[in-house]
Structure 1
Amino acid sequence: MSDFLDILTHGRRLKAAVKELSIQELEEVEQKLAKVIADRREEEAELQKLEAEKQRKIKELREAMAAAGIDAAELLEGEVKTTSKPKRKRAPKPAKYAIVDANGERKTWTGQGRMPNALKEALAQGKSLDDYLI
Structure 2
Amino acid sequence: MEELLKTLNNIRSLRLLAKEIPLEQLETILKKFELVVQERKEEEEAQQLVLAAHQEKIEKYKELLKSEGISPEELLEVMNLHRFNPSQHKKRAPRPAKYKYTDLDGSQKTWTGQGRTPKAIQIQLDKGVTLESFEI
TM-score relative to the length of structure 1: 0.58
Q: Distance in 2 between matches of 1:62 and 1:100?
A: 69
The alignment covers a number of residue pairs equal to 107
1:60-92 C-alpha deviation (Å, 9 max, x unpaired)? 11111111111222223243434xxx8x99x9x
2:112 equivalent in structure 1: none
2:56 equivalent in structure 1: 56
Flag the 1:10–1:133 CA change in 2: closer, same or farther, 3 A.
Answer: farther
What is the letter of the counterpart of residue 20 of structure 1?
E
Matching of residue 18 in structure 1 with residue 18 in structure 2: yes
2:83 equivalent in structure 1: 81
Deviation at 1:57, TM superposition (A): 1.1
Gaps of 5+ in 1: 92-98, 111-131
1:31 equivalent in structure 2: 31
Q: Distance in 1 between matches of 2:37 and 2:104?
A: 75
Flag the 1:65–1:3 CA change in 2: closer, same or farther, 3 A.
Answer: same
Percent identical across equivalent pairs? 31
Gaps of 5+ in 2: 95-102, 108-115, 117-122, 126-136
Aligned-CA RMSD value:
3.6
Which structure has more helix as a fraction of its residues? 2
Alignment of 1:1-134 (within 5 A): 1-79=1-79, 80-82=82-84
